């Protein structure tokens, strides 16, 4: 018997706005599609949080014994700047600015994406299709929508007719928006605009002479609209109706709303049973943005080469930090939050090491079987990782009491406890054990912090010779000190 047969999972479905009992279309099998990155720049930490949430969900499904086909796409064409209907493709713009071929841009940032996700210990998806690899499928869907009367051509471009679709379907049901309200809050179309209505979205865009990413189609040379690729790839690999579609909260409208409309117009029915959305990551209480400087890349966290954090943090510590919030909640990144997560991470790992060496007794003071089910109950409640982690620390408390001789644990309960901790820490949360690098980084941080304090004392006492000596000798071994308004931080080269 597989675990999923006696664990009853509920998920929050964005389509209904409530938690629902999860029941896959085919027993024992799950089809899950998650919107992947547009590969025109280094993957940012907010995107990593979204992908990490679905990596955790993927892991839990696998742990329960489901066979999962997990599809996560790569957007390498069609995503216009600022998610607009007009303008320049993000990848084409980057290629033009850096005087590269578009596929050079795609390759560079796809490699970066995979490298960062590997550091975070992500499981690879079952299939990772690209938009450019599915142009034919996208054109066929456009033909189908066109034939069914929900699209129109204008000057070599093809647009989805939202108003006509809304007469027989409900456009806006995922985001809770009403087309009438959207129309009322929209300015009149400019005279030169090709669309019948502002809400209409592009299925195919005509490529102007300067547009370097273009493909032939029945409507002339052009490129597909951004929303179309996900409809084409999800239905190709998962079927016209599949179990789960995931992505960031910011994609709910218009991207996912348009996906629903395209699929219903083409296939005549809803494409997805459960829509799951992960929430955003902020930093120091503010939105992360390059323009304001309130931004940090994952690699800058791992090396400590940044002006925001006091030290470097390992990928597992950052992952543990992210798992401490529910995937649907806003999570705020800060130096203090990462320091606290690091302490918690090492406390958890130390308890695992301690458990291996404890002696067993004839009785158990810790009800391991009940605790084990409580861990599953947490995950079965819409993948509630913060409650799960709280339960793991309940076990840590008992492990330490057993070590001190204040409680006992039978051999059978010890075996169950070890297996359960291993399953949830490594297999579900995706953490990695303390490595020499991880433990060494922690010890190094403590030593360098001590030296920074000694250097500060020397400077306060105007002993600049000692202060400079500490700085210079650390620099000689590759540890750079950086003095700033918030104090001194360091990075390791």
pTM of the model: 0.88
Q: 3-state secondary structure string, 221-262?
A: CEEECHHHHHHHHHHHHHCCCEEEEEEEHHHHHHHHHHHHHH
Q: In this structure, are residues 205 and 228 in contact, taking their beta carbons and an 8 Å threshold?
A: no
**244 forms bridges with which residues in the sheet?**
32, 274
CA distance 451 to 428: 38
Q: In this structure, are residues 289 and 476 in contact, taking their beta carbons and an 8 Å threshold?
A: no
Q: Indicate the length of the chain as a whole number.
A: 493
48: Cβ contacts below 8 Å, ≥ 6 apart: 116, 117, 120, 298
Give the chain's radius of gyration (CA, Å).
Answer: 26
Tokens of 341: 């997560």
**206 forms bridges with which residues in the sheet?**
222
Tokens of 414: 């010890």
197: left (phi over 0), alpha (psi -120 to 50) or beta: beta
pLDDT given at position 42: 95
pLDDT given at position 394: 98
Of 205, 204, 203, 222, nearest to 165 by C-alpha is: 203
In the chain, domain spans: 3-278, 282-428, 436-492
CA distance 262 to 204: 13
What end-to-end distance do the CA atoms of the chain give, in Å?
Answer: 51
Reported CATH class of domain 3-278: alpha beta
3-state helix, strand, coil in the chain (%, to 5): 50, 15, 35
CA distance 10 to 108: 39
Long-range contact pairs involving 390-399 (C-beta distance under 8 Å, separation at least 24) = 392/348, 392/421, 392/424, 392/425, 393/344, 393/347, 393/348, 395/351, 395/366, 395/371, 395/421, 396/347, 396/348, 396/351, 398/365, 398/366, 399/351, 399/354, 399/355, 399/358
Q: 3-state secondary structure string, 58-101?
A: HHHHHHCCCEEEEEECEECCCCEHHHCCCCCEHHHHHHHHHCCC
Please report which helix (H) or strand (E) contains residue 20, including its range: strand 18-21
Helices (H) and strands (E) in the chain, counts: 16, 15
CA distance 398 to 409: 9
pLDDT given at position 441: 56
How far is CA 394 from its chain centroid?
Answer: 28
Q: How many CA atoms lie within 13 A of 370 on its CB side?
A: 5
CATH fold for the domain made of 282-428: Isoleucyl-tRNA Synthetase; Domain 1 (1.10.730)
- Classified as helix, coil or strand, 413 is helix
Q: What is the mean pLDDT of each run of 10 residues along the chain (493 residues)?
A: 96 98 98 97 95 98 98 92 79 91 95 97 98 97 97 97 96 94 75 82 92 94 95 98 98 97 96 98 90 89 93 97 98 97 96 94 97 98 98 97 96 98 98 63 74 89 90 84 75 64
Q: What is the DSSP letter of 194?
A: -
Dmax (CA) of the chain: 84
Place of tokens 């840590």: 396
Tokens of 291: 């323009």
């Amino acid at each position: 018997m597989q675990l999923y047969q006696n664990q009853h999972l509920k998920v929050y479905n964005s389509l209904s706005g409530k938690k629902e009992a999860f029941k896959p279309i085919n027993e024992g099998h799950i089809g899950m599609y998650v919107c992947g990155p547009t590969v025109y720049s280094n993957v940012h930490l907010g995107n990593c949080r979204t992908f990490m949430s679905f990596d955790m969900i993927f892991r839990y499904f696998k742990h329960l014994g489901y066979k999962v086909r997990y599809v996560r796409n790569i957007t390498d064409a069609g995503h216009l700047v600022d998610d607009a209907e007009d303008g320049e493709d993000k990848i084409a713009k980057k290629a033009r600015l850096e005087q590269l071929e578009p596929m050079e841009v795609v390759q560079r940032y796809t490699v970066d994406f995979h490298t960062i996700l590997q550091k975070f210990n992500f499981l690879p998806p079952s299939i990772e299709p690209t938009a450019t690899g599915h142009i034919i499928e996208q054109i066929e869907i456009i033909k189908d929508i066109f034939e069914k009367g929900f699209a129109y051509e204008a000057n070599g471009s093809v647009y989805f007719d939202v108003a006509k679709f809304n007469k027989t379907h409900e456009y806006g049901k995922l985001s809770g928006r009403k087309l009438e309200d959207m129309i009322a809050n929209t300015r009149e179309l400019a005279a030169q605009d090709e669309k019948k209505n502002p809400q209409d979205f592009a299925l195919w865009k005509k490529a102007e002479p300067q547009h370097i990413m273009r493909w032939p189609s029945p409507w002339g040379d052009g490129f597909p609209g951004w929303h179309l690729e996900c409809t084409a790839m999800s239905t190709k690999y998962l079927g016209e109706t599949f179990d789960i579609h995931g992505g960031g909260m910011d994609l709910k409208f218009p991207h996912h709303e348009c996906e629903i409309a395209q699929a219903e117009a083409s296939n005549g029915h809803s494409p997805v049973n459960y829509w799951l959305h992960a929430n955003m990551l902020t930093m120091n209480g503010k939105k992360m943005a390059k323009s304001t400087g309130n931004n940090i890349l994952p690699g800058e966290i791992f090396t400590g080469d940044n002006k925001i954090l006091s030290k470097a943090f390992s990928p597992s510590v950052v992952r543990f930090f992210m798992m401490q919030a529910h995937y649907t909640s806003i999570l705020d990144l800060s130096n203090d939050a990462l320091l606290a997560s690091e302490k918690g991470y090492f406390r958890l790992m130390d308890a695992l090491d301690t458990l291996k060496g404890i002696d067993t007794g004839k009785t158990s003071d810790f009800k391991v079987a009940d605790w084990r089910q409580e861990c599953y109950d947490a995950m079965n409640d819409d993948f509630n990782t913060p409650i799960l982690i709280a339960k793991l620390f309940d076990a840590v408390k008992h492990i330490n009491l057993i070590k001190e001789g204040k409680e006992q644990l039978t051999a059978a309960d010890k075996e169950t406890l070890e297996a359960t901790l291993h399953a949830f820490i490594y297999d579900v949360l995706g953490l990695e054990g303390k490595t020499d690098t991880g433990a060494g980084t922690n010890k190094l941080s403590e030593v360098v912090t001590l030296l920074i304090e000694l250097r500060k004392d020397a400077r306060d006492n105007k002993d600049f010779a000692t202060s400079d000596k500490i700085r210079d000798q650390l620099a000689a071994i590759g540890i750079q000190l950086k003095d700033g308004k918030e104090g001194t931080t360091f990075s390791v080269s």
